[in-house]
């Protein structure tokens, strides 16, 4: 064991997938497997630190592990094992998947599978119990992803876009995300900027059906008071803090831009911000419009 650890590959990467039952952990693992990750489902948490030795012995540079409440005493053992893993010479990140109670109940109803904590009680009670039990693990996550509104294909695309960027050797994957406050805050956001103070194209009948991707919306907003100044200040601020995150070793950063519905102002600002942030050393920028198709 000592010999294997002495040859540990600093570039080795482990993505740990955890979260609520029914939130899409298996689909996320399948997406990573398609990217070339070696995937293991339901690995006992006590084996996490020793898993690095296996990667070294088999020259496996990238792996994804699904760990969750199916394991007895999972909550008790995970935190300690995760800390041991982070002290080893390996790049490790934890992605936590969750969804609303309504979405989870619908999924369990559709699949006719039993919730692991609801064998003798309603599914809703099992979800509530699991959500509470996983609170401490959720706090450890590098990325929290709410899959309530994501289809299987959406989730696969998001995971592959997010984690596929690390194949380029980037030190930080920065996602610029537009959203609408009326559809809820994005749980994965690290930094949130509210642009509802900008003039709203929704109240212009000729512009309402358009989105922030349309040149007519862009022209409208750029001519409105405050837009250009806000963009310049936001670019300067993020130009200062993003390199600090890179230096600190953060692997993933989500900057969320929100307006009321997530179709006009936030989309335009997020799109131009993503372009502005391209070129920062050690950063791969990704752009996502969460609520662009919402009514």
Q: Which residue, 132, 153, 169, sits at the end of a domain?
A: 169
Q: What are the strands of the beta sheet with 283-289, ordered from one edge? A: 191-194, 252-259, 172-180, 283-289
pLDDT tens series, the chain, 295 aa: 333 334 444 457 899 999 999 999 999 999 999 888 999 999 888 888 788 888 888 888 899 999 998 888 898 889 888 888 888 878 888 999 999 999 999 988 887 777 877 777 788 888 999 999 999 999 999 889 999 988 888 898 888 877 776 555 557 889 999 999 999 898 889 999 999 999 999 999 999 999 999 999 999 999 999 999 999 999 999 999 999 998 887 878 999 999 999 999 999 999 999 999 998 888 989 899 999 988 7
Any residues with CB less than 8 A from the CB of 148 and at least 6 apart, and which?
Answer: 99, 100, 102, 103
What pTM was estimated for this model as a whole?
0.71
107 and 239, same domain (yes or no): no
206-209 long-range CB contacts below 8 Å, 24 or more apart? 207/264
133 and 198, same domain (yes or no): no
143 and 205, same domain (yes or no): no
Q: Are strands 172-180 and 283-289 parallel, antiparallel or unpaired?
A: parallel
238 and 280, same domain (yes or no): yes
231 and 139, same domain (yes or no): no
Residue 295 domain-assigned (yes or no): no
Chain position carrying tokens 């039990």: 133
Residue 294 domain-assigned (yes or no): no
19 and 142, same domain (yes or no): yes
Q: Which residue, 169, 188, 212, sits at the end of a domain?
A: 169
234 and 249, same domain (yes or no): yes
Tokens found for residue 143? 């990325």
183 and 148, same domain (yes or no): no
Residue 147 domain-assigned (yes or no): yes
Q: Count up the domains in the chain and report the number.
A: 2
Q: Which residue, 152, 169, 186, sits at the end of a domain?
A: 169
Q: First vs last Cα of the chain: how many Å apart?
A: 57
182 and 155, same domain (yes or no): no
82 and 52, same domain (yes or no): yes
142 and 191, same domain (yes or no): no
Residue 221 domain-assigned (yes or no): yes
Residue 93 domain-assigned (yes or no): yes
110 and 129, same domain (yes or no): yes
Give the residue numbers spanning the domain of 257: 174-289
């Amino acid at each position: 064991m000592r010999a294997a650890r002495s040859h540990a590959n600093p570039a080795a990467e482990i993505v740990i997938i955890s979260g609520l039952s029914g939130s899409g952990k298996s689909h996320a693992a399948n997406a990573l497997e398609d990217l070339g990750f070696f995937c293991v489902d339901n690995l006992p948490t006590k084996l996490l630190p020793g898993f690095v030795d296996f990667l070294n012995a088999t020259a496996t540079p990238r792996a994804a592990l699904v760990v969750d409440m199916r394991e007895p005493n999972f909550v008790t053992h995970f935190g300690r094992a995760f800390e041991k893993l982070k002290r080893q010479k390996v790049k490790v990140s934890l992605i936590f998947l969750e969804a609303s109670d309504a979405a989870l109940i619908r999924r369990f109803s559709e699949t006719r599978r039993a919730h692991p904590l609801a064998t003798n009680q309603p599914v809703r009670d099992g979800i509530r119990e699991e959500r509470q039990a996983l609170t401490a693990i959720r706090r450890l996550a590098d990325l929290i992803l709410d899959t309530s509104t994501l289809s299987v294909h959406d989730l696969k695309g998001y995971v592959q876009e997010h984690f596929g960027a690390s194949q380029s050797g980037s030190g930080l994957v920065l996602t610029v995300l537009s959203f609408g406050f009326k559809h809820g805050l994005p749980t994965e956001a690290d930094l949130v900027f509210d642009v509802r103070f900008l003039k709203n194209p929704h109240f212009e009948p000729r512009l309402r059906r358009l989105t922030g991707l349309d040149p007519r919306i862009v022209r409208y907003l750029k001519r409105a008071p405050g837009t250009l100044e806000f963009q310049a200040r936001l670019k300067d601020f993020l130009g200062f803090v993003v390199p600090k995150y890179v230096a600190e070793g953060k692997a993933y950063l989500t900057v969320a831009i929100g307006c009321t519905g997530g179709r006009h102002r936030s989309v335009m600002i997020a799109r131009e911000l993503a372009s502005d942030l391209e070129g920062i050393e050690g950063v791969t920028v990704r752009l996502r419009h969460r609520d662009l198709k919402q009514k």
